[in-house]
């Protein structure tokens, strides 16, 4: 039983060697299996990007105290399906209308008395993705009105000097200008106001006040002479004179003519 098996094996080997000799059999390497690409995972939806928030003042320049000013909110980008929730606040003045909207109108009355003479509007915007912290602000300068520093009439020179030195100290602590309104009395001599205004301005300049910061005007007539001193911020409306006597009622006192010495005959 074993011989046939050995003989068959020998015949197979013989045929195989013969075939190799003739170059009929080609051994091919087993191909390396290629890795199968895994299916692309479905990307998770990204949360919408946060919008940009900007605030602009209108007008974008200093305004006089009491004049209205607006602050406008611009929202750019973000999820257009979101409904923004808007809340405003201001550091001075009062919101007249527009709270919870994209535009507010602000009453600036009294804002010029604030430390920095500025109204700043802050806005917070919600309604978008929780990670969106949205806040914006804008500010505008407010010019306060002119304020009366003091007034005096005919007083001794010592009192005049004291009042002017007090005024000089006040001007040294601010950038505001000075406006003097002079009133002649019913019985004042001609050019009374002009001469006194020049004198007051010269004394202020001697005390150290820049002459360009001092302005003066003839306010007309009152029953008694008076001088008003007003602090006027740059850009503020100038105060108006308040005379109480009409100019056509004034009769200037006559000045007695100077008697010239008479030359004696033969002298």
Dump the DSSP string for 24-75: -----PPPPPPPPPPPPPPPPPPPPPPPEEEEEEES-S-EETT-EEEEEEEE
pTM for the structure as a whole: 0.71
Q: What's the total number of domains in the chain?
A: 2
Distance CA 8, CA 15 (A): 11
Q: Given pLDDT bands bounded at 50, 70 and 90, which one contains residue 9?
A: very low
Q: Given pLDDT bands bounded at 50, 70 and 90, which one contains residue 256?
A: low
Nearest residue to 221 via CA among 266, 248, 186 = 186
Among 143, 159, 185, where does a domain finish? 143
Q: Say yes or no to pLDDT of 74 above 90.
A: yes
Q: Are residues 154 and 215 in the same domain?
A: yes
Least confident among 29-43, 146-160, 207-221: 29-43
Q: Are residues 151 and 234 in the same domain?
A: yes
Radius of gyration of the chain (CA): 48
The domain in which residue 116 lies consists of 52-143
Distance CA 7, CA 13 (A): 10
Kindly report the CATH number assigned to the domain that includes residue 126.
2.60.40.10
Q: What is the rounded average pLDDT of the residues 226-240?
A: 96
Q: Are residues 108 and 182 in the same domain?
A: no
Q: Are residues 161 and 244 in the same domain?
A: yes
Q: Say yes or no to pLDDT of 267 above 50.
A: no
pLDDT in the model for residue 119: 97
Q: Are residues 222 and 176 in the same domain?
A: yes
Residue 63 belongs to some domain of the structure = yes
Residue 105 belongs to some domain of the structure = yes
Kindly report the CATH number assigned to the domain that includes residue 223.
3.30.1330.60
Q: Are residues 62 and 75 in the same domain?
A: yes
Q: Say yes or no to pLDDT of 12 above 80.
A: no
Residue 219 belongs to some domain of the structure = yes
Q: What is the rounded average pLDDT of the residues 138-164?
A: 94
DSSP strand E in 191-266: where? 214-221, 226-232
Q: Are residues 120 and 160 in the same domain?
A: no
Question: Using the 8-state DSSP alphabet, how is residue 5 labeled?
Answer: H
Q: Say yes or no to pLDDT of 66 above 90.
A: yes
Q: Are residues 131 and 160 in the same domain?
A: no
Q: Are residues 120 and 134 in the same domain?
A: yes
Q: Are residues 156 and 229 in the same domain?
A: yes
What tens digit of pLDDT does each residue of 153-195 get? 988 999 999 999 999 999 999 999 999 999 999 999 999 999 9
Q: Are residues 86 and 136 in the same domain?
A: yes
pLDDT in the model for residue 21: 45
Least confident among 26-35, 64-73, 157-166, 243-252: 26-35
Residue 35 belongs to some domain of the structure = no
Q: Given pLDDT bands bounded at 50, 70 and 90, which one contains residue 19?
A: very low
Q: Are residues 84 and 112 in the same domain?
A: yes
């Amino acid at each position: 039983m074993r011989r046939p098996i050995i003989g068959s094996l020998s015949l197979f080997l013989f045929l195989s060697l013969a075939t190799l000799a003739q170059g009929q059999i080609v051994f091919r390497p087993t191909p390396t299996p290629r890795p199968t690409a895994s299916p692309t995972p479905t990307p998770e939806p990204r949360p919408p990007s946060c919008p940009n928030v900007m605030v602009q003042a209108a007008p974008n320049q200093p305004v006089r105290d009491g004049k209205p000013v607006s602050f406008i909110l611009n929202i750019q980008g973000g999820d257009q399906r979101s409904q923004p929730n808007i809340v405003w606040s201001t550091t001075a003045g009062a919101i007249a209308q527009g709270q919870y909207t994209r535009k507010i109108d602000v009453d600036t009355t009294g804002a010029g008395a604030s430390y920095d003479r500025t109204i700043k509007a802050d806005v917070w915007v919600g309604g978008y993705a929780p990670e969106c912290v949205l806040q914006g602000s804008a500010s505008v300068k407010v010019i306060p009105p002119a304020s009366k520093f003091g007034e005096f009439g005919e007083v001794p020179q010592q009192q005049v000097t004291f009042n002017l030195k007090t005024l000089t100290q006040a001007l040294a602590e601010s950038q505001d200008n000075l406006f003097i309104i002079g009133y002649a009395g019913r019985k004042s001599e001609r050019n009374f106001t002009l001469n006194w205004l020049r004198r007051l301005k010269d004394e202020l300049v001697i005390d150290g006040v820049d002459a360009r910061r001092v302005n003066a005007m003839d306010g007309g007539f009152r029953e008694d002479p008076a001088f008003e001193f007003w602090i006027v911020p740059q850009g503020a409306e100038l105060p108006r004179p308040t005379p109480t006597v009409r100019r056509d009622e004034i009769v200037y006192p006559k000045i007695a003519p100077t008697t010239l010495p008479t030359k004696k005959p033969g002298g």
